[in-house]
Structure 1
């Protein structure tokens, strides 16, 4: 099957003032007071600390302990231990507001995940963990986190970082360093492909050095990613709100299988896909600061789609577009099967949940975290009434035109049409899709009818972030940045898709989304070389959507 990465590679910025994010060395990066304590902390708390899923009165905090040298990730070895945790209003922990003890052991890979409740809304907190060892009490580094505003409050603004697609062997995580250096974010949103399942060896080698299949494999891979210092800093600085895409299990995953899974028990077989996915989801639940099925407990389910509300200003709906979807069509371009109303990318329960949440009565801005692109990406698009007339003769064309990538919403047009029709018929305003997956930067309107846009208007907008490190078109072609083939590909795609206002196939980095009552703005920040751990970070482009407009427009500077 042709994948979304190779589809774009087979196809092919004005200069901007550099903007370097402030690095301040905050309390969230603090470690123990002396070097001996720091060494013990690195041995016991090798994988750092993290927090996530902020609610007005609760937030999840996370760490992993290594109580003995044998207690390596995925080993299944080591003792049961009691880990103390505390949450305070200050980095010196003079004003502790919550504390407790969590037990962990090899059955959960020595991870600790606590849903801390009883907190005050819209407040910064500091947290840490402690383990008593033969050398005494060892403290983790201090993390910083923030609760969401009260549901009935009117916060003046919301600022989120968002990123996706961080392939460890393909480069250093300078984009995460750029996020960690900021002091102005309320949370970081990760839109999938937090890790990759392959055994690739490029700039850095994966651990284990083969494609991951077993529970021990997935645990070791999560552990390797969380040893990266830039990722650790970003986790320690802000709460994260995450979802998975396919590579957290394996490439082009769907409900009953995946393109990169070979069922069977022979020498080339990888066993049951259902069991493989269950192992991957188990490791994800252990290693990520997220609530599955609404709790931080293990084994209570794998429902990852959920909402995080930021007062009356915004509500973020995070989708799971892998667990419930039907298999992708195998023919790229004009297979009208993509319009089959019985095929789904969300599953019916999640689709109903999504449309129910897209309601102006809940919050002003409806943010939707989708791991794959929602808006249509077409080679050619005819008006829907023209396609319908042609298809009375024979089902020759997909309703929204000849598509490029059946792995995204283009391969499941009935679900997309349900969402678009709901937005249009219910007159829902201020909907913004935040997207990862495609290793490139995009700003676009979400048209009612791609073939007759702009005459038929737009019901939402979509901002797509670049990859942290995963190959983009420049990398796939081996061409210099902003070279002729890359620019030609961007121009050709935008010419065939008038609703796309910005496209960048060349850069790696992250986005910052700033939300106020008047507008939502997305700023793209890019790194230099992914081979350079200390690569500078600079601003490149910005687009916004004004309240009530459902269209994007370029602006000449990032939010300050």
Structure 2
């Protein structure tokens, strides 16, 4: 992927270069800039969901994004937004362009499926509205079906709690110039402001659509997050905090804040709508009332297939009241974390052998991790039969290179996946890479001693700092570099590689580098 220029990373003023390149048809829909029309691109731009010939382009108009009504200072009217795609960041030649309507009812969010693009190619894009040009973003398409294409540099992370630190991790990810970024959940947190924090959430715990929209706006005003969105296409899945901590399908963790059944349904609907409005997702993922279709498959030529899971919306309730504990109910065969339909969908996709690497992007700890007090009922340890069905399913289907990517736990881990967790000498049948968080849990202490490794010998790595995983995929190996920053309580810390592993094609399991 071509190196990103300073034009793309510096948000705002520099992006106006090349304004004259807009075609006449697009210029006709643009409102002349005046003092009464302030800059509407305060939330930046993004792209996502790439395939071989198209990519989603996203923005949301919000000149004063922190307004309590969630509308970002926009009037109750729809607005025409022009968009452009070029092979250069000067936009001297356009390969795609058009005009789309940003609707008040959708908080003036824009989702453009920019088509007619070439496979395995780099592009730049931007928007224009109300006489203003957006920042410039860089994106790319995937290789054509059947083509391996270039080696893929991928970065992934999760869990960005605004109150627990600065978003330096996003900036360091952007500086890697990745080909794609995966976010594995907890993009926002729903909690109200916490007394004594350096950075505070606006308002109380979010419940209404206006609340969720404003919370996304507060996060998206961070320049480091905007830089990460501008540098590469994203593939995203939510976890729990995009709605409410540890919810399971239609079941709440507890009744705090107190809500009626109807109010809880409305809250979940609002959360799903705001998630779609603020993510570069395709129209197939648009929310429909009290549900949203988020599990999906993305093909990266013959190199990799991304199976992105939703482990919240369809799960059985956490066993034994949730928490860490000993719980025999966690073994019940009728319990499922992704739900029966999604389990079947996943195994069907794995059985198609669409790419060298089958990447399962999901949210919660997958390998068995028992401690003296038991296991986490919110992870796959609380749904052991479900995990066993999926693992045995990929063995039965002769899946050569399953790799599970995980977020949620605010620490970095790496693990071999075993055919039988009661027998440490059983076959290694897959690999799990667990990213740390962007900020959640604060600076951390840098510990690298693997907890409870005596009862979980397949656990190969642990680190308690904030960070991300940088992974390079080729037809012969996957290399994973665990990157962290020393502090998120202060802005601008450097990133360092703590540990690297390689997974060889056809040989599941971690090899330390």
Q: Which residue number in structure 2 is paired with residue 257 of structure 1?
A: 251
Residue 468, structure 1, aligned to residue 438, structure 2: yes
**Larger RCO, structures 1/2 (Cα 8 Å, 6+ apart):** 1
Q: More deviation in 30-39 or 335-344? A: 30-39
Residues 80, 99 of structure 2: 8 Å contact kept: yes
Consecutive unaligned residues in structure 2, runs of 5 or more: 20-32
Q: Which residue number in structure 1 is paired with residue 28 of structure 2?
A: none
Q: More deviation in 238-247 or 65-74? A: 65-74
Distance 1:349 1:271 in 2: 26
Q: Which residue number in structure 1 is paired with residue 206 of structure 2?
A: 212
Residue 61, structure 1, aligned to residue 57, structure 2: yes
**Aligned positions of 1:541-556 closer than 5 A:** 541-555=499-513
Cα separation, partners in 2 of 1:260 and 1:216, compared to 1, 3 Å? farther
Distance 2:354 2:446 in 1: 43
**Aligned positions of 1:167-178 closer than 5 A:** 167-178=161-172
Q: Which residue number in structure 2 is paired with residue 383 of structure 1?
A: none
Distance 2:64 2:461 in 1: 51
Q: More deviation in 345-354 or 296-305? A: 296-305
1:538 Cα offset (Å): 1.4
Q: Which residue number in structure 2 is paired with residue 328 of structure 1?
A: 318
Residues 325, 345 of structure 1: 8 Å contact kept: yes
Distance 2:66 2:216 in 1: 18
Distance 2:124 2:374 in 1: 48
Residues 68, 78 of structure 1: 8 Å contact kept: no
Q: Which residue number in structure 1 is paired with residue 47 of structure 2?
A: 51
| Residue 287 of structure 1, aligned match among 278, 281, 286 | 278
Q: Which residue number in structure 2 is paired with residue 425 of structure 1?
A: 396
Cα separation, partners in 2 of 1:533 and 1:39, compared to 1, 3 Å? farther
Residue 195, structure 1, aligned to residue 188, structure 2: yes
Distance 1:71 1:168 in 2: 18
Give the TM-score normalised by structure 1: 0.82
Q: Which residue number in structure 2 is paired with residue 390 of structure 1?
A: none
Residues 29, 143 of structure 1: 8 Å contact kept: no
Distance 2:14 2:408 in 1: 41
Q: Which residue number in structure 1 is paired with residue 461 of structure 2?
A: 502
| Residue 179 of structure 2, aligned match among 186, 192, 205 | 186
1:108 Cα offset (Å): 0.7
Distance 2:435 2:88 in 1: 33
1:299 Cα offset (Å): 6.8
Distance 2:34 2:381 in 1: 51
Distance 2:107 2:331 in 1: 43
Residues 286, 292 of structure 2: 8 Å contact kept: no
Distance 2:38 2:495 in 1: 28
Cα separation, partners in 2 of 1:69 and 1:507, compared to 1, 3 Å? closer
Q: Which residue number in structure 1 is paired with residue 344 of structure 2?
A: 352
Distance 1:449 1:279 in 2: 41
1:378 Cα offset (Å): 1.3
**Aligned positions of 1:404-483 closer than 5 A:** 404-453=375-424, 455-471=425-441, 475=444, 480-482=445-447
Residue 516, structure 1, aligned to residue 505, structure 2: no
1:174 Cα offset (Å): 0.5
Cα separation, partners in 2 of 1:500 and 1:118, compared to 1, 3 Å? same
1:97 Cα offset (Å): 1.3
Distance 2:405 2:509 in 1: 14
Cα separation, partners in 2 of 1:405 and 1:298, compared to 1, 3 Å? closer
Q: Which residue number in structure 2 is paired with residue 25 of structure 1?
A: 6
Residues 360, 403 of structure 2: 8 Å contact kept: yes
Distance 1:138 1:23 in 2: 22
Residues 305, 318 of structure 1: 8 Å contact kept: yes
Distance 1:102 1:23 in 2: 26
1:117 Cα offset (Å): 1.5
Q: Which residue number in structure 2 is paired with residue 234 of structure 1?
A: 228
Cα separation, partners in 2 of 1:361 and 1:30, compared to 1, 3 Å? same
Residues 111, 280 of structure 2: 8 Å contact kept: yes
1:279 Cα offset (Å): 0.5
Residues 182, 235 of structure 2: 8 Å contact kept: yes
Distance 2:4 2:88 in 1: 20
1:521 Cα offset (Å): 1.3
| Residue 89 of structure 1, aligned match among 84, 87, 90 | 87
Cα separation, partners in 2 of 1:435 and 1:68, compared to 1, 3 Å? closer
1:43 Cα offset (Å): 2.8
RMSD: 2.7
Cα separation, partners in 2 of 1:72 and 1:89, compared to 1, 3 Å? farther
| Residue 272 of structure 1, aligned match among 257, 263, 269 | 263
* 2:182 match: secondary structure: strand
Cα separation, partners in 2 of 1:39 and 1:53, compared to 1, 3 Å? farther
Distance 2:170 2:375 in 1: 30
Deviations 1:127-151 (Å, cap 9, x if unpaired)? 111113xxxx211111111111111
Q: Which residue number in structure 2 is paired with residue 155 of structure 1?
A: 149
Residue 361, structure 1, aligned to residue 353, structure 2: yes
Q: Which residue number in structure 1 is paired with residue 100 of structure 2?
A: 102
Distance 2:219 2:64 in 1: 21
